Chains A and B, each alone.
Chain A
């Protein structure tokens, strides 16, 4: 079955990104497909590559990047939500005159249409947030 996932709360403050990660791993292990995970609201903050948690803590962004690479998951960050919260890719940083981008490997910034499209193209949609 194709399962779409939405993460709508940021890392560390809320458990949402952790629960979503554990859920996606279990879904893949059970033989389901997770073609895309969509990050919205403060969920876009999962995508920053500048996060440096203590060594003995999980690295939420690294975990998502690795999982996406291994299973070809499309990690999409909502552009409108990302711009509000300062999550930028290279193109957007240049366009906005910022001195750096901060999006992590494996994530891409795109529009809300990707969320609707995921709802249309998957068999189930599961949301994690606050």
Chain B
């Protein structure tokens, strides 16, 4: 199709304190059905969305962090995480969930969806998009 556009979902907010992270994920899941070229960007407090070990029972709110691990099944396989944002918050890639997808073009090999990129690379990724949705 000639009208495939590059969609970028920009996530800059932490989970639970506000609903933006959850409702962003809901757009991503619905949007996956439209066969567009989808990428997700996590920067600033958005990197906190991907951390391991989220336990929400005590606040009585649904833990949606496992949903990130299902994104590969929706062909959402490009999760760009900004290195500087991680470092500013005392995080490393090891603090993030392992999120993978099966590459159909490579004999269904399991590959990481999370790609840690520099701020300069993130800037380039943003500048290559057709549609940017901010959450």
Most buried by B among A115, A117, A120: A120
In the bound complex, do residue A80 and residue B26 qualify as a contact, i.e. CB atoms below 8 Å apart? yes
Contact of A112 with B131 at beta-carbon distance under 8 Å, contacts A41-B19, A120-B3, A120-B5 already known: no
A residues near B7, Cβ cutoff 8 Å: 116, 119
List chain B residues, Cβ under 8 A from A116: 7, 27, 30-31, 34, 36
B55 within 8 A of A: no
> Of B20, B30, B133, which contacts A113 at CB under 8 A?
B30
Residues 94-135 of B, flagged 1 when their CB comes within 8 A of A and 0 if not, give 000000000000000000000000000000000000111110
B20–A112 touching, CB < 8 Å: no
Interface of B is mostly: mixed
Q: Which residues of B contact A81 (CB under 8 A)?
A: 23
Residues of B within 8 A of A119 (CB): 5, 7, 36, 130-131, 133
> Is residue B33 contacting chain A, with contact meaning CB distance below 8 A?
yes
- A107 at interface (Cβ–Cβ under 8 A)? no
Please, how many residues of chain A have a CB less than 8 angstroms from a CB on the other chain?
16
The reply on A127 being an interface residue by CB < 8 A is: yes
Q: Which residues of B contact A40 (CB under 8 A)?
A: 23, 27
- Min CB distance, B118 to chain A, in Å? 26
Q: How far is B34's CA from A112's CA once the two chains are assembled, in angstroms? A: 11
A124 to chain B, nearest CB (A): 9
Complexed CA–CA distance, A52 and B19 (Å): 26
B30 — which chain A residues lie within 8 A by C-beta?
111-113, 116
Residues of B within 8 A of A125 (CB): 131-133
Asked if B26 and A112 sit within 8 Å, CB to CB, the answer is yes
**Taking the complex as formed, is A129 at the interface, i.e. its CB lies under 8 A from any CB of chain B?**
yes
A119 — nearest CB in chain B belongs to which residue? B131
> Do B5 and A127 touch (CB < 8 A)?
no
Given contacts A113-B34, A125-B133, 20 further A-B contacts (CB under 8 A): A40-B27, A80-B26, A81-B23, A112-B27, A112-B30, A112-B31, A113-B30, A113-B31, A113-B33, A115-B31, A116-B7, A116-B27, A119-B5, A119-B36, A119-B130, A119-B131, A119-B133, A120-B34, A120-B36, A120-B131
A-B contacts, 12 of them at CB < 8 A, read: A6-B133, A41-B23, A80-B26, A81-B23, A112-B26, A113-B34, A116-B7, A116-B30, A116-B31, A117-B34, A119-B5, A119-B133
